[in-house]
A and B are shown apart, each in its own frame.
Chain A
Amino acid sequence: MIEHAIFAISTAFAQEVEVSELGVTTDVSLLALFLEASITVQLVMIGLLLASVWSWAIIVDKWFLYARTKRQLDRFEKVFWSGQSLEELYRSLADRTPTGMGALFVSAMREWKRSHERGARSPIGLQTRLDKALDVSLAREIERLERRLMFLATVGSAAPFVGLFGTVIGIMTSFQAIAGSKSTSLAVVAPGIAEALFATALGLLAAIPATIFYNKFSSDVSKINLRLEGFADEFSAILSRQIDEKNKPAE
């Protein structure tokens, strides 16, 4: 039996010796796993961590954006079909920079007003310009909604491979250490493999939510896109009807 004091001293000394000579760590905490890893694996871990942070930032941002956009669409449709004068609606919206259907409406109305102010003669030309304005505005809205969404797709598909790369590198160095120490003991093998697997864990941690939310958001965008396109078509039909009504008395 060993006395307690000697026991403590010897164990403390032994830990230092183990860490310095054999590279064997008894600490399995996350920080220790990160610090013990080789520089390549550390870079992989840092990159995956940053990717995870950024993809979650995008997820939070898009979550609120789409919720807000859907609310705006509902509200605008309610106002638009309430029988309110389009002129009044345009005047209320033109001052601020609207999004969604409001942006489509404002761009089409602006084109309409300019054409009338300058005395456009061809109704077909006016109709074409209005459609163009609606298309451009729609494309701009969709682009705004889909911005940074590709990052999620990239993280979702590439992060597991990056993590796997870190794991392979980590296991390679671990096996090199085993060959160097000429010991097949589990205590020598385990820390290296643990830190190597940590890279794969980080890769999956970043990839899984990115993939899930990319799928959800892309379906959301396609729904919003459908609604915007439907509104653009309807508004274009309304404007073309107005053009026809205005041109009839002239003839």
Chain B
Amino acid sequence: MKLGVGISSAAHVAILTWGMLSISPPAPEIIELGSVTMDFEASEVSKQAEGEKQAEIDETPAPKPTEKPVILPDALNTGESQRDEQSTEDAEAKPNPVEKSATAPKTPAATSNPESGPKPEEVPAPATELSSLNQPSVPVTENEVSDVPELSEVGEEFAKLPESVPVPAVKPKLPKPATAKTQERKKPKDDPARAASSAQQDQELSNEDKIAALLNKQEAASSGAKRSTEQASLGTKSADPSAKLSRREEDALVEAISRCSTGQAGQDISEDLKVTVEIQLLPNGELVSGSLAAKVSGGTQEERSRYVRSVQRYVLRCAPYDMLPKEKYDTWSEVNITFHVSEMFR
């Protein structure tokens, strides 16, 4: 029995020591890759922050705003029941006062309803004729506030003279300033008129712009400009200058990854071997599962297959990258990390 015990224990000791030496090598194989150094591509992040033309990279933010404005004009053309009807009516109504004089009293009546009801009733046609005779073009552009009371007084005085009405076509232009007493109201009247004329000329001004022009008449032109350049609005979403990772934060990320790439020198690795890992991160710094796409360049086929896995393992191993600032999550939600595998041995 002693023989059996001796042989057995000796064999076990031998097998265990062999196991210590041979089964542990899987770890050294990984460690050999620890000679990896890496470049954190700050440019990628900053490009993502800048936004505009690289909107394709920002997968989540970019597509949504581009799709929505496309949908809106289509829907307006086909004609939704609520807003489209109003806007088309307005669009049709606006050209009328410019061309025809008969529509002139309509616009003052429509605009003056909220402010002063009686004045347009008194003014209707004759007062404008006389006022136009007396003050043809001056009140339209300047000194409206001072002119308005005069016009109203004149309209009251000459209210009895509607009998002689020679030419109503040209003169109704004057009642417009008469109804809009303040500067703010007069300028918008001019602006929608211009907008309507430009719309007729271009034949393609969106109904939203017309609605916006009615609602906010001062900025009608500027709102149109915003609509015309849609990409600019895309850029503003991600182009927050404060969202860039600082050099310290980048170094912290590099440091965190270099922790996991422990290794020893002495491996002959092709100098041009680069492994780029694209990782997606959750706000808490965890990796999005399955987001370890890797690109390899340079090196032999064996080296590629060998080092890609280990680099991915490194990135996985030090996974919670919670040292990154959460308020800048947009910048590091997707990060490309390039490992220069043979950098150390140059």
Contact = CB atoms under 8 A, between A and B. Distances in A.
A27 interface: yes
Given A11-B34, A58-B4, A64-B3, 18 more contacts: A1-B340, A2-B254, A10-B259, A11-B259, A12-B262, A18-B259, A26-B27, A29-B24, A29-B27, A54-B8, A56-B7, A56-B11, A59-B4, A60-B4, A61-B5, A185-B317, A186-B316, A186-B319
Nearest to A190: B317
B19 A30 contact: yes
Contact of A183 (B4, B5, B254, B320): B320
A28 B258 CA distance: 19
Give the 3 A-B CB pairs with smallest separation, nearest first: A29-B24, A61-B4, A14-B259
Given A10-B255, A185-B317, A187-B317, A26 B8 contact: no
Interface in B7-65: 7-9, 11-12, 16, 19-20, 23-24, 26-27, 31, 34, 37-39
Interface in B244-278: 254-255, 258-263
Give the interface SS of chain B, mostly helix, strand, loop or mixed. Answer: helix
Most buried by A among B1, B39, B263, B343: B1
A15 interface: yes
A185 B316 contact: yes
Interface in A25-52: 26-32, 49, 52
A61 to B, nearest CB: 3
A16 B20 CA distance: 22
A53 interface: yes
| Size class of the contact patch on chain A | 35 or more
A57 B1 contact: yes
A61 B3 contact: yes
A187 B340 CA distance: 23
Contacts of A184: 286
Contacts of A29: 20, 23-24, 27
A31 to B, nearest CB: 6
Nearest to B1: A61
Given A30-B20, A184-B286, A56 B12 contact: yes
A138 to B, nearest CB: 22
25 contacts: A1-B340, A2-B254, A2-B255, A7-B258, A10-B259, A11-B263, A14-B259, A26-B27, A26-B260, A27-B24, A30-B19, A31-B20, A52-B12, A53-B5, A53-B8, A56-B4, A56-B12, A57-B1, A57-B8, A61-B1, A61-B3, A62-B4, A185-B286, A186-B316, A187-B316
Interface of B: 1, 3-9, 11-12, 16, 19-20, 23-24, 26-27, 31, 34, 37-39, 254-255, 258-263, 286-287, 316-320, 340, 343-344
A4 interface: yes
Contacts of A53: 5, 8-9, 12
Interface of A: 1-2, 4, 7, 10-12, 14-15, 18, 24, 26-32, 49, 52-62, 64, 183-187
A49 B255 CA distance: 42
Contacts of B3: 60-61, 64
Nearest to B285: A183
A123 B8 CA distance: 52
Given A185-B317, A185-B319, A15 B262 contact: yes
Contacts of A10: 255, 258-259
Contacts of A55: 8
Contact of B24 (A2, A28, A59, A187): A28
A86 to B, nearest CB: 33
A55 B16 CA distance: 16
B27 A11 contact: no
A24 B261 CA distance: 14
B282 to A, nearest CB: 11
Given A183-B319, A185-B317, A56 B8 contact: yes
A28 B8 CA distance: 26
Contacts of B19: 30
Contacts of A61: 1, 3-5
B5 A26 contact: no
B27 A60 contact: no
Contacts of B258: 2, 7, 10-11, 14
A233 B106 CA distance: 136
